[in-house]
């Protein structure tokens, strides 16, 4: 799930409300399913889809946060296409690349959530080809779900989709003589810095496996992480999420552990931490989304955009082709889900039937809040339909994986449709490249997940805490009788859920929202620990300080413009740091495996 940008949702005076409607389009000949991309463009977009899928797996398992990579895809594609071609890519070409790469990133996020199965079954090892086929089919079906509501969804806000459209226009604009392409410059600058700083934080040349540069220890049990990826995430999500994560992380050593010390519950401290975090991440987080509807920001069309000018006419057989593809994808999902997870076909049908309308609901939520609440689908399936099967937690988790993957892909597709709507792109061709992206994401994600789990482990006490996967695994285990919480723990979970749901109102009420730590951040912080949370807090603090200096001394329109510039610049810098750090971390893991094959021991991955 992508957290909301923390820049002010300012509305320029010359921004045109979506409600006014686009100009009457001029009809064109029927669209083609396949876009007219060059071989080099297909190659660049394919590579980036695989890269973003891999980085999403790593970051989601590390910190519980993933990004579809739309902004990075636009910047990286512009940079790579500039190397292989003298022609500047058009905004429509970049939009197709963004959509394809985003699809790969969505599948990467879904595969990272599937890792919950490995928490419950460490020796789980299904067939790679069947698993790849399952995720490719689920991604295809999710894209089709997203396409069914495109016309209505593009009218909503979708902050990330709107921001990506603005950046596409910025990088395709012909610069004035001597003018620097600011977005590309920031990508190269901050990406290079992050890549260099990542190396000593991830490798070890010592027998004890410690990193060349380890976390900064402030006192016993209190440290600050040094991985640049944490700071990149903090810069993107802002101070409210950072403060929430730090508070959640500090709750374990300074609240929960002391409270249980000397009691009969002390041996189960880990269970208390996990379930209190789950209590924070479920009902209160969903309550935040509900409350957000009371204070929605009106959707706007940014200055310079005229969506709807081009009247794309779909081919006569579009509905038949997409419908047939959807049926085939659903059948493949049913077969593969039974083969891998042992899910009866009727349970898979129920899962897809429940997930479809929930994907649409999630899309509507994302349109206003920029949060894709994938967990909402998974939690409903885990808690409401465990009676459909009696094969254990792994099978139940398989149902959550099916529903969660559909939600991840379908809703992220709606973000891309919003971008395409603003830049007046062909929606049918957006859908087509989405199919390609999901296949690429599935092919890359499965071996990357196996590689990371083999080298770094998963769950509490490992290098990959996987907070989201922990939530899914704990819920599935409990629903199938694998874990029976004490009465006191149940009471604590209920109390936290009620108090958290009340507190959630303060996080969206305009009078208090900007000062309230994120409830989502609190829950994630409890699961990932102090080191990463403190680093993300510092990243968020940096964003806040930069925004303050951008807007200091300005009023009126000048302040609005400065706040928007601060939001764009910090998002570009943070996303560049995040992407570069995640990519290099994966490359280092792959390098260690290669060195092992060559029987060389230059360095190992730090523990």
For helices 318-341 and 345-369, give the axis angle rounded to 10 degrees. Answer: 120
CA distance 186 to 572: 7
CB 509 within 8 A of CB 235: no
State how far the Cα of 235 lies from the Cα of 241, in Å rounded to an integer. 10
Report d(CA 160, CA 137) in Å as an integer: 26
CB 394 within 8 A of CB 121: yes
The pLDDT confidence band at residue 235, using thresholds 50, 70 and 90, is very high
Q: What is the DSSP string of 453-474?
A: HHHH--STTSS---HHHHHHHH
Residue-wise DSSP of 160-229: HHHHHHHHHHHHHSPPPTT---HHHHHHHHHHHHHHHHHHHHHEE-STT---SS--EEEETTEEE---HH
pLDDT of residue 13: 32
Angle in degrees, 0-180, between the axes of helices 228-237 and 239-251, rounded to the nearest 10? 120
Q: Which of 95-99, 264-268, 416-420, 545-549 has the lowest mean pLDDT?
A: 264-268
In the predicted structure, residue 494 carries a pLDDT above the cut 50: yes
Grouping H, G, I as helix, E, B as strand and the rest as coil, residue 14 is coil
What is d(CA 94, CA 96) in angstroms, rounded to the nearest whole number? 5
Helix residue ranges, H only, 507-602: 519-528, 530-551, 556-597
Longest dimension (CA), the chain: 76
Asked whether the predicted pLDDT for residue 380 surpasses 80, the reply is: no
Tell me the C-alpha distance between 140 and 148, whole Å: 13
CB 323 within 8 A of CB 379: no
The span from the CA of 572 to the CA of 564, in Å, is 12
Chain segment 509-562, per-residue pLDDT in tens: 889 988 999 988 999 999 999 999 999 999 999 999 999 999 998 888 888 888
What is the secondary structure of 64-81 as a DSSP string? Answer: S-----HHHHHHHHHHHH
Q: Output the pLDDT for position 297.
A: 65
pLDDT at 45: 96
CA neighbor of 66 nearest in space, from 122, 113, 7: 113
pLDDT interval class at 25 (50, 70, 90): low
pLDDT given at position 516 = 93
Using DSSP's 3-state secondary structure scheme, residue 361 falls into helix
Per residue in 170-201, pLDDT (tens digit) is 888 777 777 788 888 899 999 999 999 999 99
- Residue 21 neighbours by CB distance under 10 Å: 11
DSSP string, 36-63: ---HHHHHHHHHHHHHHHHHHHHHHHHH
Residues in contact with 463: Cβ distance below 8 Å, sequence separation at least 6, in sequence order:
62, 456, 457, 605, 607
Tokens 């402030």 -> residue: 218
Contact yes or no for 13/557 (Cβ under 8 A): yes
Residue 483 burial (10 A CB sphere; 0-12, 13-18, 19+): middle
Phi, psi of 28 (to 5 degrees): -120, 170
Half-sphere exposure of residue 194: CA atoms within 13 angstroms, side-chain side: 27
pLDDT, position 325: 96
Q: Which of 122, 4, 6, 19 is nearest to 65 (CA)?
A: 4
DSSP labels, 101-148? HHHHHHHHHHHHHHTHHHHH-TT----HHHHHHHHHHHHHHHHHHHHH
Q: How far apart are CA 467 and CA 274, in angstroms?
A: 9
Q: Count how many Cα atoms sit within 13 Å of the Cα of residue 532 in the half-sphere of its side chain.
A: 26
Instruction: Quote the CA–CA distance of 274 and 474 in Å, as a whole number.
Output: 8
Q: Show Cβ contacts of residue 357 under 8 Å, excluding neighbours closer than 6 positions.
A: none
Determine the average pLDDT of the residues in 292-301: 73
State yes or no: pLDDT of 1 exceeds 50.
no
- Other beta carbons less than 10 A from residue 27's beta carbon: 10
pLDDT attached to residue 42 = 95
Distance separating alpha carbons of residues 82 and 87, to the nearest angstrom: 7
- Of all residues in the chain, what percent carry a pLDDT higher than 70? 92
The predicted-structure confidence for 240-261, as pLDDT tens digits, reads as follows: 999 999 999 999 999 999 999 9
Predicted local confidence at residue 16, as pLDDT: 42
Residue scoring higher pLDDT (135 or 379): 135
The band of 6, judged by pLDDT with boundaries at 50, 70 and 90, is very low
In the prediction, which pLDDT does 180 show? 80
Q: Would you say residue 210 has pLDDT above 90?
A: no
pLDDT digits (tens, 9 = 90+) for 575-595: 899 999 999 999 999 998 888
pTM of the model: 0.87
CA distance 78 to 553: 35
Mind listing the pLDDT tens digit for each residue in 441-483? 999 999 999 999 998 999 877 889 999 898 888 888 888 877 7
pLDDT in tens, 386-440: 666 667 888 889 988 998 899 889 989 999 999 999 999 999 999 999 999 999 9
Q: What is the pLDDT of residue 390?
A: 67
Which of 21-30, 55-64, 367-376 is modeled with the greatest confidence?
55-64
| 167, 84, 57, 464 alpha-carbon torsion, rounded to 10° | -100
Average pLDDT over the chain reads 86
**From CA 473, how far away is CA 479, in angstroms rounded?**
10
Query: Does the pLDDT of residue 295 top 80, yes or no?
Result: no
The gap between the terminal CA atoms of the chain, to the nearest Å, is: 27
């Amino acid at each position: 799930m992508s957290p909301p940008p923390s820049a002010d949702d300012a509305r320029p005076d010359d921004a045109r409300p979506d409600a006014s409607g686009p100009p009457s389009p001029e009809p064109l000949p029927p669209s083609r399913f396949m876009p007219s991309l060059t071989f080099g463009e297909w190659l660049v977009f394919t590579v980036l889809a695989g890269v973003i899928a891999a980085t999403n797996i790593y970051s989601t398992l590390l910190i519980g946060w993933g990004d579809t990579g739309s902004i990075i895809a636009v910047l990286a594609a512009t940079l790579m296409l500039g190397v292989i071609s003298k022609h500047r890519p058009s905004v429509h070409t970049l939009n197709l690349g963004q959509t394809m790469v985003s699809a790969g990133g969505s599948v990467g996020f879904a595969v990272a959530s599937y890792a919950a199965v490995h928490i419950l079954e460490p020796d789980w090892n299904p067939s790679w080809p069947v698993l790849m086929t399952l995720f490719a089919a689920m991604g295809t079906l999710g894209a089709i779900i997203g396409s069914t509501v495109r016309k209505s969804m593009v009218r909503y806000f979708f902050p990330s989709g709107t921001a990506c459209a603005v950046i596409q226009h910025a990088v395709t604009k012909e610069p004035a003589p001597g003018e620097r392409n600011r977005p590309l410059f920031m990508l190269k600058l901050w990406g290079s810095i992050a890549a260099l700083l990542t190396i000593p934080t991830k490798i070890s040349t010592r027998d004890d496996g410690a990193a060349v540069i380890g976390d900064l220890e402030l006192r016993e049990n209190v440290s600050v992480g040094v991985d640049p990826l944490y700071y990149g995430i903090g810069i993107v999500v802002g101070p409210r999420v950072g403060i929430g994560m730090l508070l959640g992380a500090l709750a374990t050593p300074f609240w929960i552990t002391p409270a249980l010390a000397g009691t009969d519950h002390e041996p189960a401290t880990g269970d208390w931490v996990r379930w209190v975090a789950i209590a924070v991440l479920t009902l209160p987080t969903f309550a935040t989304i509900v409350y957000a509807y009371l204070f929605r920001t009106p959707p706007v069309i940014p200055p310079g955009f005229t969506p709807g000018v081009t009247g794309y006419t779909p081919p006569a057989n579009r509905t038949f082709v997409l419908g047939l593809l959807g049926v085939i994808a659903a059948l493949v999902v049913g077969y593969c889900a039974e083969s891998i997870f042992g899910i009866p076909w009727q349970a898979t049908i129920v899962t897809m039937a429940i997930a479809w309308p929930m994907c649409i609901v999630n899309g509507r939520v994302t349109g206003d809040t920029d949060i894709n609440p994938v967990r909402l689908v998974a939690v409903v399936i885990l808690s409401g339909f465990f009676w459909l099967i009696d094969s254990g937690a792994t099978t139940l988790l398989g149902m959550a994986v099916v529903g969660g993957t559909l939600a991840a892909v379908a809703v992220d597709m709606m973000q891309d449709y919003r971008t395409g709507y603003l830049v007046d792109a062909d929606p049918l061709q957006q859908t087509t490249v989405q199919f390609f992206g999901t296949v690429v994401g599935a092919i890359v994600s499965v071996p990357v997940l196996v590689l990371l789990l083999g080298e770094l482990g998963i769950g509490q006490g490992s290098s990959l805490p996987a907070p989201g996967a922990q939530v899914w695994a704990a819920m599935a285990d409990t629903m199938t009788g694998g874990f029976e919480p004490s009465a006191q723990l149940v009471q604590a979970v209920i109390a936290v859920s009620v108090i958290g749901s009340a507190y959630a109102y303060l996080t969206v009420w305009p009078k208090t929202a900007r000062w309230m730590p994120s409830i989502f951040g609190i829950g994630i912080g409890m699961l990932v620990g102090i080191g990463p949370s403190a680093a993300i807090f510092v990243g968020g603090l940096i964003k806040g300080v930069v925004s303050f200096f951008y807007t200091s001394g300005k009023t009126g329109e000048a302040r609005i413009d400065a706040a928007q510039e601060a939001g764009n610049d910090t998002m570009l810098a943070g996303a560049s740091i995040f992407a570069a750090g995640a990519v290099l971390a994966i490359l280092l893991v792959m390098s260690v495996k290669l060195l092992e094959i060559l029987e060389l021991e230059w360095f190992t991955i730090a523990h």
